[in-house]
Amino acid sequence: MTRGEKTAIITGGGRGFGRAFGTALAAEGMHVVLVDIAGAVAEEAAAAIRAAGGSAEGLAGDVVDEARIAEVMAQGAARHGGIDILINNAGLHSDEYGQPITKLGYAKTRRLFEVNVLGTVCCTLAALAHMKRRAGASIVNIASSAAHMGGSAYGDTKLAVAGLTITFARELGADAIRVNAISPGLILTDTIRAELPEATKARVKAMQLIGDDGEERDIVEAMLWLTSDKARFVTGEVLRVTGGMAAGV
């Protein structure tokens, strides 16, 4: 089965990494389904892909709404009889959710875990029936270098995502589905440039072993490799793309 006969579902697909992932996979001939809690944003991103000659649709969906996500997966699977790639990218990560738990409070901490952790579970379970035994079926979860650093609720959610990656790799291996994760470091997307204080950027960059700025394309290239046949023998892994910031055993 060629990429042109495959379908990819990308959560958080309306902007940032999600939109970049969709653009890259569509450029390889795949049909991409961009899912976002803001349906209009997802459709705008899909329209841009179609305008460039790709195949895409944008759908509204909250990743913790089990019934809606089941509908989204079924709709996405209809194009080519199943789902070949699922990218669990949706997550809460803005400055609002980067606060200590004592400042976040219970309600926001609960929402953070619901979206980042249970959203990954919800989407994976919903996609499973459509991915079983598909040649080259692959799931990529988006974790974070914060998972390896400790000290934040956000990092704790991403540590849980890394753990889920291993668990699902074990459980879904019999269905010929590979499950991996990417842990981005400091990647200077438009959002990060706008939200992150310069002092914080400088502090994090000083921890890198590579002096260059991390760019969105670095994460896109990691995704393309993990979802390709070149990574056919890779599952249950967390690929840290951090410029060496998270280097360690």
Residue 239 resides in a domain? no
Residue 243 resides in a domain? no
Which CB contacts under 8 angstroms, 24+ apart, belong to 203-212?
204/245, 205/243, 207/245, 208/242, 208/243, 208/244, 208/245, 209/243, 209/244, 209/245, 209/247, 210/243, 210/244, 211/243, 212/243
Across 133-153, b (16+ Cβ under 10 Å) vs e yields ebebbbbbbbbbbbbbbeebb
Catalytic residue, from 154, 159, 226, 235: name it.
Answer: 154
How many domains does the chain fold into?
1
Q: Residue 85 maps to which CATH number?
A: 3.40.50.720
Residue 219 resides in a domain? yes
pLDDT for residue 118: 98
Segments of the chain scoring below 50 in pLDDT: 249
pLDDT for residue 247: 66
204-243 confidence digits (pLDDT tens): 889 999 989 899 999 999 999 999 999 999 999 999 999 9
In this structure, what DSSP letter does residue 177 have? -
pLDDT for residue 248: 59
Residue 240 resides in a domain? no
In this structure, what DSSP letter does residue 137 have? -
Residue 241 resides in a domain? no
> For residue 199, what are the domain limits?
3-234
Residue 59 resides in a domain? yes
pLDDT for residue 151: 83
Residue 110 resides in a domain? yes
Residue 246 resides in a domain? no
| Catalytic residue status for 154 | yes
HEC string of 205-232 equals HCCCCCCCCECHHHHHHHHHHHCCHHHC
